[in-house]
Structure 1
Amino acid sequence: MRKKTFAAAALLAAATLTLTGCGSGDQGDKAATVVSGQTAQRAATVLDQPFDKPELVLTDTHGRKFDLRKETAGRPTLVYFGYTHCPDVCPLTMNNLAVAKKSLPRVEQDELRVVFVSTDPARDTPAELGSWLKGIDPQFIGLTGDFAAVQAGARSLGITVEPTRKDKNGKLVSVHGTQVMAFSPKTDRGYVLYGEDATVDDYTKDLPKIVQGANP
């Protein structure tokens, strides 16, 4: 595992952020959160100063209100912002997590919460989101709802989300950061950040520690 601990001040001092419009056809647009160029290519960054879990109350795939802080309190939680119409990065990331999750003992699989927050809520209805996630892992939690709330929640983690727009080919794309934030079951704070290049092996090696709230 490639990792290093960096002070939050250094993370927040990053001057340039790039985003990925999944399936936009824009070559070379790598997604990044608030990390320096020095850490952007690492699979994970362990944060000196963890992020608070976002105050997000959205709608789950069953059409019920879901309070992220309340529903995941005291549980190891992975949060990712993306959208179901993405043909590349989003499904790859979620499938990587699903494969890695299966390597855990059943009790730890049941304890882990993997939350997918839609960055394209206008198209990602609860039913659409539920059908998409069911094909990846039925235990994954899908949330959709007010875009402004989603955008604010992502921003609180240093992840940028932009409104869905048409690309140069007239295709609707959601431009967003593509990081996975891991929250400790001990503190309910985001303390490990995974970049877009994190692999199944990276997650498989780290999840046993993540579920315990330990540093990978």
Structure 2
Amino acid sequence: MRRVNVAIAGAAMVLAASACGSSSGSTATAGQQARATVSLAGRPLTPAVVAPTTHLIDTNGSPFDVRSETAGRLTFVFFGYTHCPDVCPTTVADIAAALNQQTPAVRARTTLVFVTTDPDRDSPQIIRQWLNQFDASFIGLTGNWTDIAGYATALGLPTIRPEQAPDGSWTVEHVSQVTAFSPDGTARVGYLANATVANYSHDIPLLLENRM
């Protein structure tokens, strides 16, 4: 297995930079000023990503459009595969642990969408069983490769179709980025494989308030 560790655009930027430089005559609202002072552990996405329509299949075998089905919720979107030995289970486990540190109200408004990058081996049933190890409420999606790759591309993430070698082994590449869509349907921050439980736990309440 190989993974692609995508560098998030603007990773070195200070989050408040987009709101700085106001003069004494600024007409910035109080909400904008409040957002400018918030420090998130996630890395800024530049430009921000507006949730696209998707044509994927959930673990019940039903069509699932991520944008409409998760509207009004904080949604972490992560591409990976169930045979992944390291990054995938660690990332999903970290988000599950962070959610367990939230209040019931915050927890109810937050979810993870896991999209397989290995659709030939990851059936809906396999994805469901794998996700249940971490959190039974997490959403698992599959589909044909064209639709999966198209969704990833819309989020600015590269994809390479899995390959099976003559000896039967597989090479699956996937990005390590978790894309965080706030309840307004826009992703302004993402997380790489080095994000911690504490990072997610800190950011979740702020992202729910669109504080970024």
Which category of TM-score, normalised to the shorter sequence, fits these structures? 0.7 to 0.9
Residues 143 and 155 of structure 1: is their aligned pair in 2 closer, same or farther, counting only changes over 3 Å? same
List runs of 5+ in structure 1 lacking aligned partners: 1-19, 23-29
Of 197, 201, 205, which aligns to 1:200? 197
Structure with greater Cα Rg: 2
Residues 205 and 131 of structure 1: is their aligned pair in 2 closer, same or farther, counting only changes over 3 Å? same
Which residue identity lines up with residue 187 of structure 2 in the other structure?
G
Tell me how many residue pairs correspond in the alignment.
186
The CA distance in 2 between the partners of 1:36 and 1:167, in whole Å, is 37
Structure 1 residue aligned with 2:170: 172
Structure 1 residue aligned with 2:210: 213
The CA distance in 1 between the partners of 2:165 and 2:98, in whole Å, is 33
1:44 Cα deviation (Å)?
2.3
Residue 32 of structure 1 pairs with residue 6 of structure 2: yes
SS at match of 2:130: helix
8 Å CA contact 2:9, 2:46 repeated in 1: no
1:172 Cα deviation (Å)?
0.9
Structure 2 residue aligned with 1:188: 185
Flag the structure with higher helix content. 2
Residues 92 and 168 of structure 1: is their aligned pair in 2 closer, same or farther, counting only changes over 3 Å? farther
Moved more, 94-103 or 107-116: 107-116
Which residue identity lines up with residue 121 of structure 1 in the other structure?
P
TM-score, normalised with respect to structure 1: 0.79
1:49 Cα deviation (Å)?
3.1
Structure 1 residue aligned with 2:157: 159
Superposition map of 1:56-135 within 5 A:
56-135=54-133
Structure 1 residue aligned with 2:148: 150
Which residue identity lines up with residue 142 of structure 1 in the other structure?
G
- Residue by residue over 1:89-128, the C-alpha shift from the partner in whole angstroms, topping out at 9 and shown as x without a partner, is 0110000000001111112111112100011111111100
Residues 104 and 21 of structure 1: is their aligned pair in 2 closer, same or farther, counting only changes over 3 Å? same
List runs of 5+ in structure 2 lacking aligned partners: 14-39
Residues 103 and 67 of structure 1: is their aligned pair in 2 closer, same or farther, counting only changes over 3 Å? same
Structure 2 residue aligned with 1:13: none
1:46 Cα deviation (Å)?
2.2
1:70 Cα deviation (Å)?
0.9
SS at match of 1:116: strand
1:47 Cα deviation (Å)?
3.2
TM-score, normalised with respect to structure 2: 0.80
Structure 1 residue aligned with 2:139: 141
Taking only the aligned residue pairs, the percentage that are identical comes to 37
Which residue identity lines up with residue 60 of structure 1 in the other structure?
D
